[in-house]
Structure 1
Amino acid sequence: MGFLDLLLVALIPVIKVLFITGVGLFLALDRVNLLGPDARNHLNKIVFYVFGPALVATNLAQTTTYESLVTLWFMPVNILLTFMIGSALAWLLIKITRTPKHLQGMVIGCCSAGNLGNLPLIIVPSVCEESNNPFGESSTCFSNAQAYASLSMATGAIFIWSYVYGIMRSYANNYKEAGLTININSSQKNSNSESDLETCREPLLPSKDWVAASDEYSVQQQPHGNFETQEKSSALRKRFQCITMTMKKINLKEVFAPSAIAGMVGFFIGTVSPIRQTLIGADAPLRVIENSINLLGDPTVACMTLLVGANLLKGLTRSDIRPSIIIGIIAVRNVFMPLLGIGVVKAAQHLGLVGTDALFQFVLMLQYALPPAMAV
């Protein structure tokens, strides 16, 4: 396969995305106003609760088998690695650019969470539709591509609403607490009066309470070794309490998004043979259920891409974020993450963790080269 043919196969899906995105941007203009704020909100809810889960469930149910789980298990691990590597690079970016505290959570979210739902569902199947694609026969490649992209979407939703959302909320709470502390301290300084000074007066000679307290401390003083042991135990206790508080703050309704639940249902139907034979296939007794859900999932890709274009209208206005931060996020998502992703996937292939399916390896690498998620 020549370079020009490979370049053409790679360009066509991107051109499709740009074209439909441009249509969504046009529909969101004030003159047209077909995808205004209210329309985008309603369409986004329909995609999130109906269209997306239907697409994920049908794609996974049709293509997933018990044998295919031997290969697919590495994709959730790979997605977790993308989030962890992105978070580490975001931390370096924050230190280098000296990002303001109120933007640090957003920077970590943009660098760690890629668009694991919309773009893989558009790009990967579109590549397979080309007759000269490098991944084999078009129909088989297309069905596998939809399954891989659907699994990527379902797994990404879990990590976004647990890992990324937890980090962003933690940074936001720390920023609010810091601002509240500053306000309290300033108000206390301004409220000092003569009555406060009267309560703070103490004679030059030591008071009885102070002497008693010092005597009690001298009696109860412990050896240095026991003090270090108590410090270590208290530090471990604080870490355990921090982890416990973080786990309590995680909302399971947010973690298990509709697409994630649909992915579990699709896996269950695909791997359990009696249910699969009842619902999936041209001769299945209840194939009408599969066909109906399939119809609900068909508009997902188009609606998602239109929403991406409509949301871009906000980004065309002037932003208060420094250009260095924006350039840093672009460099992390489009330069450093893809390079590290190639190394991770090649290492996994060398260790025999991902098998020999070229399409699956392509999807794993693509997960490192995606722009930030819409949910951020």
Structure 2
Amino acid sequence: MSFITLFITASMPILKVLLISALGSFLALDSVDILGDIARKHLNKVVFFVFNPALVASNLAKTITYETFLTLWFMPVNVFITFLIGSILGWILTKITKPPKHLKGLVIGACSAGNIGKMPIIIVPAMCKEEGSPFGAVDVCQSYGLAYASLSMALGAILMWSYVYNIIRISSRDVVVEICASPSEGFDDTFKNSSKQPLLPSADYTSITTVNQSSFSSRMQQWLTTSIDKLNLKAILAPSTIGAIVGFVIGMISPFRKFLIGNSAPLHVVEDSAYLVGEAAIPTVTLILGANLLSGLKGSQIQYKIVIGIATIRYILLPLVGIFIVRGVVRAGLQLDPLLQFVLLLQYAVPPAMNIGTMTQLFGRGQSEYSVIMLWTYGLAAVALTLWSTMFLWLVAS
């Protein structure tokens, strides 16, 4: 396949995303007010609780079996690597640009967490429909492509809400703890006070030990409760993650699969209905993306060198790392089909995750700054994703 053919094949899905995003921005204009703040909030809830779980569960259930699952073990590793390398590069960027303290977590999060769920779900099926696609039959490509993208979405959601959420939460705190006394003074006071206490009889030693153990047990229980709250397990077990679990259970357990999957299955109408609902996720998410980008036009006080640094990491450094890792493991002997290779490579080249914007709204810090980051990075994605997708297609087709 020629470079021009690959470039056209790669550019068509991006152009579709741009057109639908532009429509979303238009619908969010104050003069139109169809996708205003309130409407967007409710539509986001429908996508989060209904469309995404249905899409993830239905596609994984149809395409993932126990045998195919064994070939997907590298995807969790790959997703973890994208977050790890992105975090390291983001930390280096904060040392160079020195952003305000409450934005450090935002910068690291934008570099580490890419939109590895929604963007592949939008791009991969559109890529399968193009005439020059190297991924074979359209229906097979779409089915497996959506399954890979759905798994990517579930893995991304877990790391997003367990790792990035806590980075942004910690850096967004505006609590300063002041220590009024030096440690030595505190120790001296404690020693003096304790020396004034009378010595207790040895008979009371057991009761003291019991009290201390009880106190230790209470502190441990409190620490565990606090840790669980900080990890935000409700967010980790997001509907998309639960949908992925359901899809894996149905697809990998033979009795469930025979009962629900396939035209001859007794309850195939359930799976068909879930798939029908899930199909609404892709256009809806793209419309919301365009509407959210509109707020970035209002601007903020964020340094443009930070935006340039994030774009450089996400669109130059990470894709190069991705090529080195994915192609390296393939050359080392790991069997990955071309479509899975493409999805794995794409995970390194996508713009920052949209859910970070939700986190900034939750903590009340960095909303306007992240809107500007989204505006520029998603604007540049039109060029960057097209070029990298062309390169990835050439690599997996060669």
Normalised to the residue count of structure 1, the TM-score between the two structures is 0.81
Once the two structures are superposed, residues 283-330 of structure 1 have per-residue CA deviations (whole angstroms, 9 ceiling, x without a partner) of 111111111111211110000000000000111112110111111111
Q: Distance in 1 between matches of 2:255 and 2:332?
A: 35
Determine the structure 1 residue equivalent to 2:349. 369
Q: Which residue of 2 aligns with 1:285?
A: 266
1:318 maps to 299
Q: 2:175 aligns with which of 167, 170, 177?
A: 177
CA distance in 1, matches of 2:86, 2:227: 20
1:84-128 deviation per Cα after TM superposition (whole angstroms, max 9, x unaligned):
111000000000111111110110111111011211011111111
Per the alignment, residue 349 of structure 1 pairs with: 330
Q: Name the structure 1 match of 2:253.
A: 272
Q: Which residue of 2 aligns with 1:230?
A: none
Q: Is the CA contact 1:63–1:270 (under 8 Å) kept in the aligned structure 2?
A: yes
| CA distance in structure 2 between the partners assigned to 1:4 and 1:272 by the alignment | 44
2:11 matches 1:11:
yes
**Higher gyration radius (CA):** 1
CA shift for structure 1 position 246: 4.8
Following superposition, the deviation at residue 248 of structure 1 comes to 5.3
Counterpart Cα distance in 2 of 1:246 and 1:324? 35
1:127 and 2:127 aligned = yes
Q: Deviations for 1:187-231, whole angstroms, at most 9, x for unmatched residues?
A: x9xxxxxxxxxxxxxxxxxxxx99x97xx9xxxxxxxxxxxxxxx
Query: In the alignment, what sits opposite 2:137?
Result: 137
In the TM superposition, what whole-angstrom CA distance separates every residue of 1:263-289 from its partner, at most 9, and x where no partner exists?
A: 010011001111101101011111111
Amino acid at match of 1:343: F
Alignment of 1:56-205 (within 5 A): 56-173=56-173, 176-178=174-176, 181=178
Q: Is 1:309–2:281 an aligned residue pair?
A: no
Structure 2 residue ranges without an equivalent (≥5): 182-187, 196-219, 357-398
What amino acid is the match of 2:147? A
Residue in structure 1 matched with residue 386 of structure 2 by the alignment: none
TM-aligned CA deviation for residue 132 of structure 1: 2.1
TM-score, normalising length: structure 2: 0.77
Matched letter for residue 246 of structure 2:
V
1:370–1:264 distance in 2 versus 1, CA, 3 Å:
same
The 4+ residue runs of structure 1 with deviation greater than 2 A are: 243-248, 350-353
Q: How many pairs were matched up?
A: 322
Cα shift readout 1:33-79 (whole Å, capped 9, x = no counterpart) = 00000000000000000011000000000000110012111111111
CA distance in 1, matches of 2:56, 2:29: 31
> What amino acid does structure 2 have at the position aligned with 1:88?
I
Residue 177 of structure 1 and its aligned partner are, at CA, apart by: 2.3
Question: Quick one: percent identity of the two aligned structures?
Answer: 53
Give 1:352 shift: 3.1
8 Å contact kept, 2:259–2:265: yes
AA in 2 matched with 1:103: L
Q: Which residue type is aligned with residue 280 of structure 1?
A: I
For residues 249 and 103 of structure 1, the distance between their equivalents in structure 2, rounded to whole angstroms, comes to: 19
Give distance in 2, aligned partners of 1:352 and 1:27: 49
Spell out, residue by residue over 1:230-276, the C-alpha distance to the aligned partner (whole angstroms, 9 max, x if none): xxxxxxxxxx99x9665552121111110001001001100111110
Q: Are 1:260 and 2:268 matched, yes or no?
A: no
2:387 is matched with which residue?
Answer: none
Q: Is the 8 A contact 1:131 1:138 kept in 2?
A: no
Cα distance in 2 for residues equivalent to 1:325 and 1:171: 16
Question: For the residues of structure 2 that align with 1:70 and 1:169, how far apart are their CA atoms?
Answer: 36
Change (3 A) 1:142 1:164: same
Q: Is the alpha carbon distance of 1:280 and 1:301 closer, same or farther for their aligned partners in structure 2, counting shifts above 3 Å? A: same
Q: How many angstroms apart in 2 are the aligned matches of 1:147 and 1:291?
A: 15
Structure 1 residues 350 and 247 mapped into 2: Cα distance closer, same or farther (>3 Å)?
A: farther
Q: Corresponding residue for 1:225?
A: none
